[in-house]
Chain A
Amino acid sequence: MKPKTYRFILFTLVILLGAVLGYGTSTGNPFIALLALPSALIILLILKPFVRGVTEDERNYRLAGNAARWAFSIFVVTAAIVSNVLIALGVEKADMSDRYFIVAGTTLSLAVAFLFVVYLIAYIIYSRRS
């Protein structure tokens, strides 16, 4: 299999996965999502050895690292600001018993905190390896 064919299959799978996850969410069925993601990963793992030629190299890894660092920074800053705004709005509306803003803001804050913890763990692991 040519690398181009593999990339086409990968692209098609991502689209299909998005559609399946969307369907699972809209129908309220979490098992569809739980099955779809591992299935897609297994298909890709099975197909990978059949690819002739190089599909990724050190340049791709470096680009992926830079893109991930950039995405991490943007997400953390944006999420921190948005979560503060949401919590502030929720506190302001507290007398209207509308707690959705507080819940959304707190969830976003926790997501940022979790991301930081994962980043820290990954950083420690990689710094010990090199």
Chain B
Amino acid sequence: MKTNRISNRIKVWRAEYDLTQQQLAEEIGVTRQTINALEKGKYVPSLDLAFRIARRFESTLEEVFHYDE
């Protein structure tokens, strides 16, 4: 079975910026379900979406996403 090696800290960043899943979803143009799937590690975003999320938190990709070796 394919394992997801990309983890993220979206939930932590979202808490830091005091945003709900719905608010973050609306700001970056995705559905709330996608944010939920991302936070649970069930979905790996495209590079485009990953950059949009990182930009929203005024951080770099590496600060939000991590590739587990």
Contacts and interface: CB of A to CB of B under 8 A. Distances in A.
Interface of A: 3, 53-60
Contacts of B43: 59
B26 A54 contact: yes
A56 B25 CA distance: 11
Which 10 pairs between the two chains have the least Cβ-Cβ distance?
A57-B30, A59-B34, A54-B31, A57-B31, A57-B34, A58-B46, A59-B43, A54-B29, A54-B30, A58-B49
B35 to A, nearest CB: 10
Given A3-B31, A54-B26, A59-B30, 15 more contacts: A53-B26, A54-B25, A54-B29, A55-B31, A57-B30, A57-B31, A57-B34, A58-B30, A58-B34, A58-B46, A58-B48, A58-B49, A59-B31, A59-B33, A60-B31
Contacts of B31: 3, 54-57, 59-60
Interface residues of B, number: 13
Contacts of A56: 31
Interface in B42-59: 43, 45-46, 48-49
Contacts of B34: 57-59
Contacts, number: 26
Nearest to A62: B43
Contacts of A57: 29-31, 34
Contacts of A3: 31
B29 to A, nearest CB: 6
A53 B25 CA distance: 9
Contacts of B46: 58
Nearest to A60: B31
Nearest to B49: A58
A16 to B, nearest CB: 26
